[in-house]
Amino acid sequence: MAVIHRQYEGIHDYDEIRIFLEKEFGHTRFDHNLTLFEFQTALSCGLDERVKRLDEVLENVHLWFNGDRLVGLLEEGAFCAAGDHRFLFEEMVEVAERCFPGMEWEVYDGDKDLEKVLSNRGFLKSAEYWVRRDFDLTQPVEGGRLPEGCEVRSVPDLKEQEEVFQAYKLCYGLLFNQTMFDRFYETSTYRKELDLVVTGPDDKVVALCSGRYDERNELVTIEAVSCFPEYRGKGFSKALLRQVLHAAKELGAKQATVYTGMPEKFPAPNRLYESAGFELVGKRYVWNKE
């Protein structure tokens, strides 16, 4: 049966994308998983003053179907193909060059067939890369102690969230708002048990750690860890990360995964995850054209 390519058509496609990303995780080395997709979509809905609909955010997404089965997904900055449809990557690159000029591609180091396609189309492997690390939640999670007077609390339970918005901004460089958080709460992968902050004796937010849960794959993706500068070096981030991992185990997760920038530029988060017991999975290099 011929593979058909078309653009996103409506909310029914959103559901198809979610099912596709759930099913394909673990069967291919593409990392555009359900938790990342839902998080970024919810984020995009609330970025501007005018709240966007899901259909508006996703209208430029490209989809590939083999019969009724969704087998490929391309949006600006992210892509995924079913494990038995990796051959679609060449067509995806062609579509992206027409529709998303200047798009960069993130490919695992040594993924030869994808590297060959990019090289043949004039892309170059840059020195920039992202790191993926995993934590085996079937193993014990060591406890982390917080200083006396500090408390772990769930973000939705806080009355004053402006400090939480600022903590998120430390991670993403974007000023968060209540609209974004309301959209996060509506996604299938959001769990308040994984969206935590540490508050100090003065009730101010000290650090934040947030994750999302893909129940089908028993997978937690750590989205954000941040600590305000004046509190760094005191173990808050590591202790809070441990709390999120404990909460993930209680939800039934068997694995936690996290993506960080290259250690040469971002040493602190890389040291944090290494010291917490996350194991290196691979490096995803950025490919682009000069």
The series of mean pLDDT values per 10 residues for the chain, 290 residues long, is: 93 96 89 93 88 94 97 96 96 98 95 96 97 96 82 90 89 88 94 95 92 97 92 90 96 97 94 94 94
Domain boundary, last residue among 53, 78, 103: 103
Which residue is listed with tokens 């939705």? 156
182: alpha, beta or left? (left if phi > 0; alpha if psi -120 to 50):
alpha
In a domain, 164, yes or no: yes
Structure tokens at 38: 């839902």
Are both 84 and 158 inside the same structural domain?
A: no
Q: Using CA atoms, how far apart are residues 226 and 237, in angstroms rounded to an integer?
A: 7
| Structural domain of 66 | 3-103
**Amino acid at residue number 66:** N
CATH number at residue 156: 3.40.630.30
- Name residues whose C-beta falls within 8 Å of residue 68's C-beta, 6 or more positions apart in sequence: none
In a domain, 72, yes or no: yes
In a domain, 268, yes or no: no
Structure tokens at 78: 């992210």
- Burial code (b: 16+ CB inside 10 Å, e: under 16) for 137-148 equals beeebeebebee
Are both 86 and 152 inside the same structural domain?
A: no
In a domain, 48, yes or no: yes
In a domain, 277, yes or no: no
In a domain, 113, yes or no: no
pTM equals: 0.92
Structure tokens at 215: 């129940």
Are both 172 and 91 inside the same structural domain?
A: no
In a domain, 270, yes or no: no
Nearest one of 146, 251, 150 to 193, comparing CA atoms: 251
